[in-house]
Amino acid sequence: MIYLDHAATTPLAPQVREAMLPYLAEWFGNASSLYALGRKSRLAIENARELAAAFFGCQPREIVFTGGGSESDNLALRGVMHAYRDRGDHLITTLIEHHAVLHTAQALERDGFRVTYLRPDRFGRIDAEQVREAITDRTVLISVMYANNEIGTVQPVAEIGRLARERGILFHTDAVQAVGYLPTRVRELPCDLLSLSAHKIYGPKGVGLLYVRQGVRLEPQITGGDQEGGRRSGTENVAGIVGLGAALELVYQDLQAGEPERIRRLRDRLIAGVLARVPEAELTGHPTERLPNHASFRFPHIEGEPLLLNLDMHGICASSGSACATGAIEPSHVLLAIGYTPAEAHGALRLTLGRDNTEAEIDRVIEVLPPIVASLVRLRCPPVAEPPAAIPRSDRAESRTPDPIG
């Protein structure tokens, strides 16, 4: 199997699994309990919190553990907008955010808040000047993702963060795809809130974190206890939190060893090979300001789903820009936002690399993909048949231009 869908999820690293196992078995105590078994769990959580704080360059008390990236995004947007309602009611975000942000923004609109959705350019990039022009005296929060999950485009978050800081506005970035590949020291970005999901960095599913700068008010969205400093109630997922801490340690080691640059070279090999060998293939997203592990394409005249199934039959795991919702295939909202038509947006392919991928695997994909695309194009666009003989005038059905509607 060749796994090229690391933007969707990553395999659990063996070192992470080993770190978690004791807390799934003998060290099962509730971290709120006072006896030794509970104190063992509490110590493990706080150790993971310190690891996360060291990774992001912040204080341990600024780390809030959550149930994953989607919850972190929800907590950031809902928590801030409701906590600062006395100051303003305006949120700025973009049309290409993850649905965890977009759907939350839409829910906030139903609650009476105002939202501005910025449209990116053809490469999926937001200009800081767009953000500046959207700011009003009622703007409370700006939320712009660090890097897009579908097309890999990296946003100028440092510039946007400095702008927000100058105007006294809070800035949140969804960094789920960026951690492990791009700089994420929160003081240097700068940002006030940052979301992370463990399963995108070789950690377990069902756990994430939200960095919340000290002094930022946050209205909790899950109530019922005093866990996480009262910001996120619920008995802690001790094993998951331990796994998140262990995953961040491994990510730090990868960064020190130059792993992102190795993956970048593989990505460039993949992009060059696909564009050279697949007629009409188009790279989506920014050609240079993109994630080191991210290659995304659009192929005219085909659908993404048959392409994925054919790749799967060759042992290649990939993703499409389309999503299956309520039984119907819907085009990617990201591709629509950057100017593609619904028909054009259906022929998308996303290939995202990870630490275990090799040159041989990349070369195999470059070998397999072109004939698959060619066969799907032939199925979708059969040769044009000879036109039929002209029909005698007397046998033709009467035709007329329909009356315009309205």
Cβ–Cβ contacts within 10 Å for residue 86, how many? Answer: 7
CA 63/CA 53 separation, integer angstroms: 7
Please write the tens of the pLDDT for every residue from 339-362: 999 989 989 999 999 999 999 999
Cβ–Cβ contacts within 10 Å for residue 157, how many? Answer: 27
In 3D space, the residue among 272, 368, 355 whose CA is nearest the CA of residue 312 turns out to be 368
139-143/114-118 β-pairing: unpaired
For the chain (406 residues), the mean pLDDT of every run of 10, in chain order, is 97 98 96 94 98 98 98 98 97 98 98 98 97 98 98 98 98 98 96 98 98 97 93 96 98 97 98 97 97 97 92 96 48 94 92 98 98 92 44 34 32
> Phi/psi at 148 (nearest 5 deg)?
-80, 135
CA 62/CA 216 separation, integer angstroms: 10
Cβ atoms of 369 and 347 within 8 Å: the answer is no
pLDDT for the residue 321? 60
In 3D space, the residue among 61, 352, 110 whose CA is nearest the CA of residue 216 turns out to be 61
Cα–Cα distances in angstroms (integers) from residue 83 to residues 140, 267, 331, 378, in the given order: 10, 42, 35, 56
In 3D space, the residue among 105, 66, 108 whose CA is nearest the CA of residue 198 turns out to be 66
Half-sphere exposure of 276 (CA within 13 A, CB side): 9
CA angle 324, 326, 329 (to 5 degrees): 35
| Stated pTM of the model | 0.90
Q: Is 324 a catalytic residue?
A: yes
Please write the tens of the pLDDT for every residue from 12-47: 999 999 999 999 999 999 999 999 999 999 999 999
E-strand stretches of 187-304: 193-197, 208-212, 282-283, 294-298
Catalytic choice (58, 191, 317, 324): 324
Q: In this prediction, what percent of the chain has a pLDDT beyond 90?
A: 87
* Site of tokens 């028909």: 343
